[in-house]
Amino acid sequence: MAADSPLTKLVPLAPLVLQHPAIDAGQGQSPPAGLTKTASPVHVLPALTLDFDAAHSPALQLDLTVKPGVTSVELGTDLFRLCSAVNSLPPSQIGGGLSADGYVKQDGNVRVVMRFANAQGARDRLAQLVSAINASENSVIACPSISRCEATLVCAV
C-alpha cells in the first residue's frame, strides 16, 4: 500500500453511546400486591455442637459367646435385653446412660461396644462397671442365647 492511501490514515470517530434497553414485563401496569416483597420466614437454628472427643472416649466392650443354634431374632432380642440390663444396673454399680456404639458378629461370637452419653469421668465409671459385670458370673446379664459375657474397658490412645 502507498503511504498516501486513505486506508493508512485512521481518523478516530466520536464514540456511539447506546441507551439501556427498557424492558417492561408488566407492560406499563403495576405489579400485583406482594410480588415485590419476600415473605419467607426465617428460622434461626440452635447452635450446632460437635463433640470430636466422643470417638476417643472410653468404652465398655462386651465379648459375648453365643450358644449354637441361636436364630438372628433370638440373638437380636437378647442383645436388646443385654443393653437394657447393663443400663438398669444400680447407680452404686455405675449403670445407666450407656448407648450401643456398634457391634461385630464373627464365628459365633458377638462384640458389643457401649459408651456413656456423658463422657465426663467415664473411665472410672466404666472400670467399676467392668468389675461388676465380670464378677457377676452372668447373673446380672441373663440372656438365653448368650453362654458367656466378658467385659473389657477400652481406652482410646
Which candidate, 91, 95, 92, places its Cα nearest to that of 114? 95
pLDDT value at 151 more than 70: yes
Q: What's the grid cell of residue 148? A: 458367656
| pTM for the model | 0.57
Q: Which domains does the chain have, with CATH numbers?
A: 60-154 (3.30.70)
The mean predicted confidence, pLDDT, of the chain is 78
pLDDT value at 54 more than 60: no
Q: What's the grid cell of residue 26? A: 408488566
Q: What's the first-to-final CA gap in the chain, in angstroms?
A: 85
DSSP β-bridge partners for residue 151: 62
Q: What's the grid cell of residue 34? A: 406482594
Region 55-73 average pLDDT: 84
Give the residue with greater pLDDT, 62 vs 121.
62
Region 139-151 average pLDDT: 77
